Amino acid sequence: MQTKTTLAHAGRNPREQMGAVNPPVYHASTITYPTVEEMKAAETKPFDGVRYGRFGTPTSFALEEAVCALEGGYRTISTASGLAAITGTLTALLERGDHILVVDSCYYPTRKFCQDQLRRWGVETTFYDPLIGGDVAGLMRPDTRVVFVESPGSLTFEVQDIPAIAAAAHAKGAVVVMDNTWATPLYFPALARGVDISIHSATKFIVGHSDAMLGLITCATEELWRKVKSSVALSGVCAGAEEVYLGLRGLRTLDVRLRQHQEAGLALAGWLRGRPEVAAVWHPALPGDGGHALWKRDFEGACGLFGLELAPCTEAAVSAFLNGLRYFGLGYSWGGFESLIIPTTGSVHRSASRWKPAGPTLRIHTGLEDPDDLIADIEQGFSRLAAANH
């Protein structure tokens, strides 16, 4: 089955649902059993089948089955948010005395979780340069259990050499966990590139409409799945019934939406690169970008999320530019149908690599609007920027 067909058909069986195309939303906490014997039998297999709402329902299993088919894993676990997927996975894999290697360009709450929570629990974190590649071998210790990757990096968009990092990690018996949200299961086949656990904030492109929080964890093996599933179940961060349904619904159109995000994002990024107000554009799918060669080798496509640095200008000028934008919302998150922009100056935290742009920095999520309208909106913004830049 090709990917587009998987997107349309995986995780649903109309014949089991009176012909309805989509699986129903099971609103369930309690699951009742016809006999004591069946109740006791279910207890011996806590994570198989429908037992209690927190462990999964036919709706969450449908989403998990569909995503797992796309990722080519053993099984997928849905969680209450993307961050819950990250923290749930790390909590499952690490214990007191363990060491984890985390990419310096990770999503900031991932960094905070390692620095605050994991540290309190006796797990040591070493951050590493996103461009380290196979040299990560030099940072591996006998107690390194996990190598965490995220590519491209949050806000800064460096592309990591995942196959080289995975080879170095596996040589020392560590598990490779990836935040694969930017590329989605369609544009980065994480497990085929050596990743053991692929995580998505489905809040972004999978839900795709800025109206639900959802996380997904796909494990390459049964052993990893049992470990992560039992830990996530104990943490109580199960996905909500409606959220799971919105994830399934979004998944059906992921391919067509992503292609539009990609096309419009490249048009906008390419145009920005030629503007005198812009000092740099960070978009791995743009030829000449520092990560382009690795992106071309390992990825199947790009979304429309990228970063840029403005030529040095005042804070007031940046505000004048952003405040008057018509089609770009000023808001966190991304992956919805509508364009977003945020200032990122001062939001990048580094301890193992350097990040010191001279001008103000921004992040753009290119939505599904016509790119010509988006470009015209930004062009007007640049006029406001010039007028306010004293």
Ligand X SMILES: Cc1ncc(COP(=O)(O)O)c(C=O)c1O
**Beta carbon nearer to ligand X, 73 or 82:** 82
Active-site residue flag, 372: no
φ/ψ (deg, to 5) at 308:
-150, 160
**By rule CB under 6 A, what string of x and - marks binding of each residue 332-351 to ligand X?**
-x------------------
Given the residues 54, 226, 227, 350, the one annotated as active site: 54
Strand, coil or helix: 125: strand
**Beta carbon nearer to ligand X, 231 or 333:** 333
Q: Which residues pair with 362 in a beta bridge?
A: 308, 343
User: Considering the complex, what minimum distance in angstroms separates the CB of residue 37 from ligand X?
Assistant: 41
Could you say which of 60, 154, 344, 361 contacts ligand X (CB under 6 A)?
Answer: 154
Q: Give the nearest residue (CB) to ligand X.
A: 82
Cis peptide before 371 (omega within 30 of 0): no
Distance CA 50, CA 48 (A): 7
Given the residues 193, 204, 252, 363, the one annotated as active site: 204
Strand, coil or helix: 108: helix
State the residue for tokens 């016509």.
Answer: 370
Closest CA to 279 of 308, 322, 317: 308
Q: Does 284 contact ligand X by CB under 6 A?
A: no
User: Considering the complex, what minimum distance in angstroms separates the CB of residue 346 from ligand X?
Assistant: 17
Terminal Cα distance for the chain, rounded: 59
User: Considering the complex, what minimum distance in angstroms separates the CB of residue 324 from ligand X?
Assistant: 25
Residue 137 has, within 13 A of its CA and on its CB side, a CA count of 8
Q: Does 181 contact ligand X by CB under 6 A?
A: yes
Q: Does 215 contact ligand X by CB under 6 A?
A: yes
**Number of neighbours of residue 28 by Cβ within 10 angstroms:** 16
Active-site residue flag, 373: no
90 touches 118 (CB < 8 A) = yes
User: Considering the complex, what minimum distance in angstroms separates the CB of residue 181 from ligand X?
Assistant: 4
The interface with ligand X within residues 90-109 (CB under 6 A) comprises 107
Strand ranges, E, within 236-303: 278-282
Active-site residue flag, 350: no
Could you say which of 7, 69, 83, 178 contacts ligand X (CB under 6 A)?
Answer: 83
Q: Which residues pair with 149 in a beta bridge?
A: 178
**Beta carbon nearer to ligand X, 303 or 313:** 303
Residues that bind ligand X (CB under 6 A): 81-83, 107, 154, 179, 181, 201, 203, 213, 215, 333
So which residues are the catalytic ones? 54, 107, 179, 204
